[in-house]
Amino acid sequence: MDQQRLDSYQWGPSRDFNEHVLHKTILVGDSGVGKTSLLVQFDQGKFIPGSFSATVGIGFTNKVVTVDGVRVKLQIWDTAGQERFRSVTHAYYRDAQALLLLYDITNKSSFDNIRAWLTEIHEYAQRDVVIMLLGNKSHRPPAEGRQWLLLQADVSNERVIRSEDGETLAREYGVPFMETSAKTGMNVELAFLAIAKELKHRALWQPDGPHFQIRDFVESQKKQPSCCSFL
Ligand SMILES: Nc1nc2c(ncn2[C@@H]2O[C@H](COP(=O)(O)OP(=O)(O)OP(=O)(O)O)[C@@H](O)[C@H]2O)c(=O)[nH]1
Instruction: Evaluate: CB of 207 within 6 angstroms of ligand 1.
Output: no
pLDDT the model gives residue 13? 62
Point out which residues pair with 90 in neighbouring strands.
none
Question: Could you give the 3-state DSSP secondary structure of residue 170?
Answer: helix
The reported pLDDT for the residue numbered 229 is 41
DSSP letter assigned to residue 140: -
Asked if 114 contacts 169 with a C-beta cutoff of 8 angstroms, the reply is yes
- Distance from C-alpha of 147 to C-alpha of 38, rounded to nearest angstrom: 23
Using the CB atoms, write b or e for 124-135: b if 16+ within 10 Å.
ebeeebbbbbbb
Q: Residue 67 Cα, ligand 1 centroid: separation in angstroms? A: 28
Q: Indicate the residue type of 113.
A: N
Residue 55 CB less than 6 A away from ligand 1: yes
pLDDT at 106: 96
pLDDT of residue 146: 45
Q: How far is the CA of 115 from the centre of ligand 1 (A)?
A: 20
**231 CB neighbour count, 10 Å cutoff:** 16
Report how far apart, in Å, the C-alpha atoms of 104 and of each of 50, 58, 123, 139 are.
Answer: 17, 20, 23, 12
Residue 142 pLDDT? 46
Ligand 1 pocket member 31 (CB < 6 A): yes
Per-10-residue mean pLDDT, the chain, length 231 = 78 63 94 95 90 80 92 93 82 93 97 97 96 93 46 61 96 96 94 96 84 91 64 34
Beta bridge mates, 228: none
- CA of 52 from ligand 1 middle (Å) equals 7
User: Does the C-beta of 187 come closer than 6 Å to ligand 1?
Assistant: no
Ligand 1 contact via 183 beta carbon (within 6 Å): yes
Ligand 1 touching residue 82 (CB < 6 A): yes
Question: How much is the ipTM here?
Answer: 0.99
Q: What's the half-sphere exposure (Cβ side, CA atoms, 13 Å) at 94?
A: 4
pTM of the model: 0.88
